[in-house]
Structure 1
Amino acid sequence: MLTETTRENPQATPQQQAADTSQELAATAPGQLRVIKRNGTVVAYTDDKITVAITKAFLAVEGGTAAASSRIHETVARLTEQVTATFKRRMPSGGTIHIEEIQDQVELALMRSGEQKVARDYVIYRESRSQARAQRNSSTPAQPHPSIRIKLADGSLAPLDMGRLDIIISEACADLAEVDAALIQRETLKNLYDGVSPNDVTTALVMTARTLVEREPNYSYVTARLLMDTIRAEGLGFLGVVESATHHEMAELYARALPVYISKGIEFELLNPLLASFDLEKLGKAINHERDQQFTYLGLQTLYDRYFIHKDGVRFELPQIFFMRVAMGLAIEEPQKEERAIEFYNLLSSFDYMASTPTLFNAGTLRPQLSSCYLTTVPDDLSGIYNAIHDNAMLSKYAGGLGNDWTPVRALGAYIKGTNGKSQGVVPFLKVVNDTAVAVNQGGKRKGAVCAYLETWHMDIEEFIELRKNTGDDRRRTHDMNTANWIPDLFMKRVFDDGPWTLFSPSEVPDLHDLTGKAFEERYEYYEAMAGYGKIKLHKTIAAKDLWRKMLSMLFETGHPWLTFKDPCNLRSPQQHVGVVHSSNLCTEITLNTCKDEIAVCNLGSVNLPNHITDGQLDTAKLQKTIKTAVRMLDNVIDINYYSVPQAKNSNFKHRPVGLGIMGFQDALYLQHIPYGSDAAVEFADKSMEAVSYFAIQASCDLADERGSYSSFEGSLWSKGILPLDSQQILIEQRGQKYIDVDLTESLDWAPVRARVQKGIRNSNIMAIAPTATIANITGVSQSIEPTYQNLYVKSNLSGEFTVINPYLVRDLKNRGLWDPVMVNDLKYYDGSVQQIERIPQDLKDLYATAFEVETKWIVDAASRRQKWIDQAQSLNLYIAGASGKKLDVTYRMAWYRGLKTTYYLRALAATSTEKSTISTGKLNAVSNGGIDEAFSAAPAGPAPVPKACAIDEPDCEACQ
């Protein structure tokens, strides 16, 4: 943008001269406030020219009569003082103001003082001058800026290259509707000054574009593309390819950069030397630079900050090289590794499928720890306990999420034969686990992440439930780890039937831990009878409902322990012939066997569901192709993975479980105009997961034909032709019809699949739905199976704060002529909700209901329909608005009754909350605290704080994502 001439127009009216004069503020008070002029120069702030500008404006309107002169003088002095006071109040230690900001304050002061006519003329003239400048600048060829110079690394100054600035901005806006390249340039230049650094120019571009996201979602893509300019310069410069490049130049430069990147990565001992054995020329030609354009700002910034390989803080990995590195790492043992790497690259870089975070972090590196989740069982002896804690540390070091089964450890007060003493129970050891997770922070990348599980009959269950409380003895609290109840069906039946419940120490009832279904019930009742006869000394009988109420009260108050259900996890497990599922994992979607010699491992990835919606329908042909490649990638993880403990390798090679899931479920509903809270959404959940299951099972069978079945296949449900859908009958039979209500319908032809799996399948477990928060950010879709959190909010994570606006809502409002600045303000005021905005039609209110506005029933119903097709489980957050004891009770009973295996975070809004009085705080996603009304009698008196919603963007949640 060329500088604006500063000479006065001799033909200008007094109003025009007044406005022009206000643009040329003279200098006093050096070292205090400074002003950036339109030509980029920086001068000291003074208020005398504000006085002149306002005076000229008054004279132009009222004339210079003696009668007017006195009033004008007094009014101008007062208004000038107001304008100056505003800036001094904002920046008491000094700072920089753009000339436009001063003009804005002059306008505001005139209007507030009641001088509407003067203000109106002032506004009209400013707009006309702005349009004239824009027209003049748009017709002038780009050339170096005459007054803004860039300060280079060696201290020298070079003119700001306006031509390159134009190219960068125009490339960023290419093919995007309703974005304004000229606006970005104008607003950016306002924030530049002579001697600015190149990094600050880029920062100004990015910051300018990101402030416009709430106006138009496409500015998120613009911002990402502007950020790409910095990423290209940093990566290509470090590799010595070129100092900087435009997007279009990357069509040729990616192929040149790839071999240099591989060489440097190997030299720095960051990449596996075997990557050099690939035909890098062939892979380089396969890179599609256009896919750099599909990132949102949040997605690209997340990749840059947390995923790209770096050396001494410099990221030398570019987005498409990143995806190619992951693809190469997963194809490294394939016979046709170049072809497979290209196949894997195309799937990842198109966002049709995304591997989990550990795979993205570590594929192709020297220690490829690619697996997401590890499940362990802790034995009841001191050496075994500390060996388990050591295993936790080693697994956590390389970015694994942990689920520990602590049920075998004897309870508080239990007899210790070796010392003739009494046990301190589970809790003191959990404190050690908590501190270990903090100390071993996943290789310095994120906090350690662990979840402890305990069965509901364990004598320590009451104290276990209170581990996350902020009161009590802090030596018996674990503030940094997650906890989960592992609940047998018998307990839930006792809750429904208002029966008693007996607590035991596992040292006296050791076989309960490995029993499920009717076998558990019979043995448990036997032990209850023995306790009644005095044969078991350490026991305690309470009302099942009282313990249930305490569970729910603590869940509401602290967010923990989560509620997970032992029997559906086991009775529907394909691997029940070789062991017992003793717990789930960190995010409650993995249900695998564990024992002393086996640490269960799961390898995760997720299909991007909205990318498989074509013309408002699920594209099953594309879905089948995606899943076939995805399952192959997941199976490869098992052989390539770095195992830090031998029990994990033993388990993974024996059973070869993987967890293919989905993300973007809410986006897929938007593309079909289906409200989340509807029968149609439940049906889509059913049909879409049926298709995923259908193709995933067949893809694993295809791999078995090529590579052989997993070693423990014989005796599994698969070997008997029992599919996940069929295993529901086992649960119904064992639990009893009275206590379960599940759907058994199917729409595809499953008979050939039943016949085929009996011949062999590659993976013992194939499906699990993970939270996907981080990889959903990368791909720009809604996480996992979640409803939309809010339609407009600020997302905060380790990469900063990002305005997130629902692009589907904006599209529909634009189509109906309802999108304007007032609508943006309304969305801010109502915390991203459309329900109270009167001019929005009811059908859009239904479609864009947010998570707390969707009845929890619909979330549970949709999850129940998915669960019948999944051989593992789902990370299912439950949203409850107006939370009360009754609502929690009904919700979690319903989750169990509808056959769910696990639940994850409770995200609750209290029944009462603080009334909104202002939106000036800028916290678009603030949630008020409040108390749980009509709480259970077991709940603490007084208002309970709303539990922190799942920290979905914090590192402790990313192991599965």
Structure 2
Amino acid sequence: MTRFSSEAKDYDLKKLRDTVNQACYGLDLNYVDPNEILNKTIAGLCPGMTTAELENLAAETAACLTTRHPDFATLAARIAVSKLHSETKERFSEVMQELHSYVQPNTGGLAAPMVSDLFIDNVMKHKDELDRAIVHERDFEYQYFGFKTLEHSYLLRMNGKVAERPQHLLMRVAVGIHGDDIERVIESYNLMSEKYFTHASATLFNSGTTRPQVCSCYMTCLRDDSVEGVFEALTTCARISRHTSGVAVSISNHRAKGSYIPETNGRAPGLVPMLRTFDVASRYIDQGAGKRPGTFNMFLEPWHDDIFDFLELRKNNGKEEMRARDLFCSLWIPDLFMKRVQDGADWSLFCPSEAPGLNMVYGAQFEELYERYEPQIETGGPFMLYKDHANAKSNQQNLGVIRGSNLCVEIIQYTAPDEVAVCSVASLALPSFVRDGQFDFSKLHSVTKVLTKNLDRIIDVNYYPVPSARHSNLRHRPLGVGVQGLADVFMRLRMPFESKEARTLNLQIFETIYHGALEASVELAERFGPYETWEGSPAQRGQLQYDLWGVKPSDLWKWEDLKARIAEKGLRNSLLVALMPTATTSHILGNNECFEPYTTNLYTRRIVAGEFQVICPWLVKELVNLGLWNDRMKNQLILHGGSVQSIPEIPDDVKAIFKTVWEIPQRCIVDLAADRGPFICQSQSLNIFVAKPSVKQLTAMHFYGWRKGLKTGLYYLRTRPAVDAIQFTVDKSSLAGDTSKVDATSKDDDTR
């Protein structure tokens, strides 16, 4: 980029004016004035500013007006995308060739290819078709928050500069999954490009690269609590984590503090010193060029003698040698524990070396063994999962007892010393299936089938950091099809989150997803055969997930016909549906996270890519249609922390639609989770939101979810907003006035 000279300045500003004006197509010009963006940008010019810095300033200027109208976020993204397009090559094949021939300048001229030989061979074999298939205009459909997230963390770079465009990334993912199956490549590319679904971060990061580790979730356990067993598990976790995956570890078989060690005639130090080792390792592992730190989730059953030390690991106070604050902690809870709490009865703690086998049984067998041992003696977390529900409703129950979950507690799979469980995940963008005021179940079904086959293909092309992960994944072939934007769907269809209509739609959506995923898995089984451990599974015995819940599905889909096909051909995958948090990928596509309600209708979100203003677009659209959206209304929304409930001008029916999660009874959130549970063969990352929780509230909430049959009772307990809604200054003087519309030429945007 050239620096401004007196001759170049007018040219660059003319170019910027053209860029901004062209980027305003389809925007509401009653609220978006391109001249205002230009004037504010010119006012911010500094001596020596480059053209790239000028374009960044224009984009950031537009983004700062997002609270005035969501179209400003669209405009900001379009300006930023125009800049990226001017700095990168258009042809996908040329960009991939450059990535393949990349030489890292710090290695003395050694080749450092960023994509694999197999990948580039497939690209060059079909380069003309792939280049023609890409629709670069779709880059302009991202919101600013989503685009900057892609630019900062996902698009590949050479010499510190972004080399890919978003459409290149999506095509790289499609080719990375399907290789030279060009029909499937282009089908997957188009569905991702049109925002019907997105693959998980690990898939976006690593597809097509020299180490294509594209699975997000890994689960393992301690072989035993010997030094060798512990450090074998630690090494496994480190090798997995460095390739951008989260790891969960079942540790209930590790002996408790003070237990006798016959081999050394000594006493065991207990869980905490071991966990501090994992804690340090998780901080040491950086998941590739600062993308994100390593993350470990440790699972413990509540009968373990060190349970109280475990529960205090993440506390901010106390002895430092008893803390491991970067680990995540989860409880794997048997029904007997809940029954004892319910009855106010005693609960006994054991060391696993003195009460062996408790972690290897569940249900009646657990209760019998626990009660046999019993006479021998007299904080946002932890995450809570119900061991008996998870095992009794698992299609992997024929493999053995499941001892834990994954980092985000939605993946529930069997692990063993020689089997590290793995799951490839992706999420369906539910708002894309709303058409003309109706939800398109047929399209959701067909896209679910495509996504299921993508995830199954990932199992075969994935790079496995440890052999035991490959061994497990190829045997059982589990998948995790998830969702994002359920709250957006309800808002677009004008359904309050707690309405009967929303409850019905919730059920229909997940019944459709489960049916589509099963149908795709049957089709794969017809081609390639069922997964290796199919025999003896509940599905092989004619029991699908809803049967394990004791629920009958609706007539929306022909379940008996599908069951007949499954009985004849089997399934290619042991597990299919899991609802992950979608914390980052949902924002890339401009949707609310997973199945959660909106935390607030207006907030500032801080991530590694920067700080971004976010406003609920459906609320603004509703208020614009009612003639209520103006500066005064914006300031009232800011004043009330993103809530509409105390704004008198807003009609009651609109208030009902746009309740935040703090204004919705948590029983409603649990009810929706339980309703869809019979169609989710793994589990759900279920957060509960209570502004000021009491022990009585939390106890009632846990028992309500347990009695409803949930596998995951709690991911995070949110006791305050996840993001602070009041990050803006409010022009209180405007609240007394009656501004009928935004003053597009205002010199002050009233935000910071």
TM-score (structure 1 length as normaliser)? 0.72
Equivalent residues of 1:184, 1:209 under 8 A apart: yes
1:501 correspondence with 2:347? yes
Equivalent residues of 1:669, 1:681 under 8 A apart: yes
1:756 correspondence with 2:607? no
Which amino acid in 1 is paired with 2:331? N
* 1:410 aligned residue: 255
**TM-aligned CA distance change 1:921 to 1:520, over 3 Å:** farther
More moved, 487-496 vs 748-757: 748-757
2:501 aligned counterpart, secondary structure: helix
Q: Distance in 2 between matches of 1:771 and 1:394?
A: 24
1:306 aligned counterpart, secondary structure: helix
* 1:866 aligned residue: 676
Equivalent residues of 2:385, 2:711 under 8 A apart: yes
2:585 aligned counterpart, secondary structure: helix
1:390 correspondence with 2:235? yes
* 1:277 aligned residue: 121
> How far 1:600 sits from its partner (Å)?
0.4
1:601 correspondence with 2:422? yes
> How far 1:623 sits from its partner (Å)?
1.0
Q: Distance in 1 between matches of 2:210 and 2:237?
A: 21
How many residue pairs match? The answer is 712
Q: Distance in 1 between matches of 2:84 and 2:492?
A: 32
> How far 1:673 sits from its partner (Å)?
0.7
1:842 correspondence with 2:652? yes
From 301, 304, 311, the equivalent of 1:455 is 301
1:452 aligned counterpart, secondary structure: strand
* 1:895 aligned residue: 705
* 2:39 aligned residue: 186
From 131, 141, 144, the equivalent of 1:294 is 141
* 2:413 aligned residue: 592
Q: Distance in 2 between matches of 1:155 and 1:710?
A: 69
* 1:164 aligned residue: 15
1:401 correspondence with 2:246? yes
Q: Distance in 1 between matches of 2:390 and 2:537?
A: 15
* 2:157 aligned residue: 310
1:875 correspondence with 2:685? yes
* 1:477 aligned residue: 323
Q: Distance in 1 between matches of 2:365 and 2:72?
A: 60
1:644 aligned counterpart, secondary structure: coil
**TM-aligned CA distance change 1:171 to 1:791, over 3 Å:** same
Question: Per-residue displacement from partner, 1:505-551 (whole Å, max 9, x unpaired)?
Answer: 1112222111111111122112223x1xxxxxxx4x5xxxxxxxxxx
* 1:419 aligned residue: 264
1:516 correspondence with 2:362? yes
> How far 1:258 sits from its partner (Å)?
4.6
Equivalent residues of 1:607, 1:663 under 8 A apart: yes
1:837 aligned counterpart, secondary structure: coil
2:348 aligned counterpart, secondary structure: strand
Q: Distance in 2 between matches of 1:151 and 1:463?
A: 60
Q: Distance in 1 between matches of 2:293 and 2:131?
A: 36
Which amino acid in 1 is paired with 2:356? P
Which amino acid in 2 is paired with 1:452? M
1:402 aligned counterpart, secondary structure: strand
Equivalent residues of 2:498, 2:668 under 8 A apart: yes
2:145 aligned counterpart, secondary structure: helix
1:326 correspondence with 2:178? no
Uncovered stretches (5+) of structure 2, i.e. residues with no partner: 104-110, 732-752
Uncovered stretches (5+) of structure 1, i.e. residues with no partner: 1-149, 237-252, 532-538, 542-554, 730-742, 923-961
Equivalent residues of 1:377, 1:405 under 8 A apart: yes
**TM-aligned CA distance change 1:155 to 1:426, over 3 Å:** farther
Which amino acid in 1 is paired with 2:145? L
Identity %: 38
Give the structure with higher Rg (CA). Answer: 1
1:344 correspondence with 2:188? yes
Q: Distance in 1 between matches of 2:93 and 2:322?
A: 58
* 2:509 aligned residue: 688
Q: How do 1:802-813 and structure 2 match up within 5 A?
A: 802-813=612-623
Q: Distance in 1 between matches of 2:226 and 2:48?
A: 68
> How far 1:255 sits from its partner (Å)?
5.8
1:502 aligned counterpart, secondary structure: coil
1:746 correspondence with 2:554? yes
Which amino acid in 1 is paired with 2:717? L
Q: How do 1:692-841 and structure 2 match up within 5 A?
A: 692-729=513-550, 744-747=552-555, 748-758=557-567, 759-841=569-651
Q: Distance in 1 between matches of 2:726 and 2:207?
A: 50
1:302 aligned counterpart, secondary structure: helix
Equivalent residues of 1:298, 1:777 under 8 A apart: yes
Question: Per-residue displacement from partner, 1:13-67 (whole Å, max 9, x unpaired)?
Answer: xxxxxxxxxxxxxxxxxxxxxxxxxxxxxxxxxxxxxxxxxxxxxxxxxxxxxxx
**TM-aligned CA distance change 1:232 to 1:257, over 3 Å:** farther
Which amino acid in 1 is paired with 2:395? P
Equivalent residues of 2:248, 2:299 under 8 A apart: yes
Q: Distance in 2 between matches of 1:830 and 1:375?
A: 43
Which amino acid in 1 is paired with 2:175? M
Q: Distance in 2 between matches of 1:834 and 1:656?
A: 46
> How far 1:259 sits from its partner (Å)?
5.7
1:484 aligned counterpart, secondary structure: strand
* 2:24 aligned residue: 173
**TM-aligned CA distance change 1:164 to 1:158, over 3 Å:** closer
Q: Distance in 2 between matches of 1:199 and 1:406?
A: 52
Equivalent residues of 2:576, 2:681 under 8 A apart: yes
Q: Distance in 2 between matches of 1:493 and 1:753?
A: 38
**TM-aligned CA distance change 1:173 to 1:261, over 3 Å:** farther
* 2:718 aligned residue: 907
> How far 1:789 sits from its partner (Å)?
1.1
Q: Distance in 2 between matches of 1:648 and 1:789?
A: 37
